[in-house]
Amino acid sequence: LAPQPTVSDHAAFMFRSLLDRLRGRRAASTPPRSASVAPAPPPSAPAGRASRQPPEPPPVDQHDDAGIRWRGALIAAHEELWTGFTARRDYPDVEQLLTAVVRDPATAIRQLPTAARDALALCDAADVSRTRLAAALGKDPALVQALLRQANSAMLGGGRAPVLGVDAAIGRIGLAGTRAVVLANCVTGLLSNPGGAFAPMVAAIWDHMVRTGPLAHALAPAMGADPDEAFAVALLHDVGKLVIFDRLSALRTASRRDLMLPPGWISQALGMLHEPLGALAALRWGLGPAAADAIGRHHRAAETLPQDPLAETLFLAERVDHCARRGQVPDLLVLWDVGQLSGDLDAAAAILGEDPTVEVLEGDATRAA
């Protein structure tokens, strides 16, 4: 019997196929026979546009399994979004934005500046002492503020004496968590905010991620995940949305005008694209395949999902934050069912019962998601 194509095979095919189309060539092969995702129609770039593009650099993580998988997932989400968009003639900017986001993640997802990569490398260095790390990170006032804010958040610091220095903050947040705060701090400065009507959405996404980090850290033991890793992925779990806003901002600057987008379309695009884009950003910024997979599946919307403590922790933490923001008590039984969770429900309930979640969210209850 011939081997059956896998989802990875199909993702790789879609990935090659899109590159071929964007380079103005016909796809040279056919999709795997039993692939469950429909072959992708072209994103309808006007004839000749692709040929005016400079030669593309190798796509991000081309030779990496996770990179190929999430590139394929991004392309599939893009095709679904594009296929369902019927007002193409009225809104040509939609195609422009989608092409900018999907064409090449190596361009769409900005590379971190050298200084940021140096700071992250310091966090990754096995032989660096905490004192030396604290001294290096303590030179950036914004970073110090971010580290202290997280270390003293209600979920991480509740009931304990406040930490006042970077060294103690690193001890409380953990090395993986510190790396995530450093990365989030870099990403804050890296990605452009389109401003205007989108500014409150961008601010709300950041606030939501900053709150979800400590929640994930607290809930991780109940879900069988590592608290520091859970904190790290939660702190950046919706960063794919910020990548889209960054591209939107870049296009607006280039065209010197606001993009014309249908009412409500951006929310739909954010919802459908941000998981695979976030996964690709996690890979590009060195969070690793496990973090990328957790970020890429944090809504746990697929019919069947692998057991993944990190992704399950992330799903639960962000749902708890959404509930708290709306002033609702999370129904854990429903969340366990919807998210196909395998963690300890009673332990999670005890954690949430003990922790002053509402206090964490005080002042944010009226903000939009």
- The binding site for Fe ion (CB under 5 A) comprises 238, 318
Q: How many residues does the chain have?
A: 369
Shortest distance, position 118 Cβ to Fe ion, whole Å = 29
Q: What is the dihedral of CA 307, 283, 361, 329, to 10 degrees?
A: -20
The one-character DSSP state at 42 is: P
Shortest distance, position 318 Cβ to Fe ion, whole Å = 4
**Between 133 and 292, whose beta carbon lies closer to Fe ion?**
292
Shortest distance, position 144 Cβ to Fe ion, whole Å = 26
Q: How many helices (H) does the chain have, and how many strands (E)?
A: 20, 0
Shortest distance, position 269 Cβ to Fe ion, whole Å = 13
Q: Which residue is nearest to Fe ion (CB)?
A: 318
Collapse the DSSP code of 300 into the 3-class scheme (helix H, G, I; strand E, B; otherwise coil) and give the result: coil
**Between 108 and 239, whose beta carbon lies closer to Fe ion?**
239
**Secondary-structure breakdown of the chain: helix, strand, coil percentages, each rounded to the nearest 5:** 65, 0, 35
The answer to whether 146 and 185 have CB atoms below 8 angstroms apart is: yes
| R_g of the chain computed on alpha carbons | 21
**Between 172 and 208, whose beta carbon lies closer to Fe ion?**
208
**Between 119 and 191, whose beta carbon lies closer to Fe ion?**
191
**CA separation (Å) from 43 to 10, 50, 154?**
18, 11, 46
DSSP output for 142-177: HHHHHHHHHHTSHHHHTTSPPP-SHHHHHHHH-HHH
The answer to whether 103 and 280 have CB atoms below 8 angstroms apart is: no
**Between 238 and 312, whose beta carbon lies closer to Fe ion?**
238
Shortest distance, position 312 Cβ to Fe ion, whole Å = 14
Shortest distance, position 278 Cβ to Fe ion, whole Å = 8
Phi then psi dihedrals of residue 156, to 5 deg: -95, -35
Shortest distance, position 273 Cβ to Fe ion, whole Å = 11
**Between 79 and 238, whose beta carbon lies closer to Fe ion?**
238
**Between 29 and 366, whose beta carbon lies closer to Fe ion?**
366
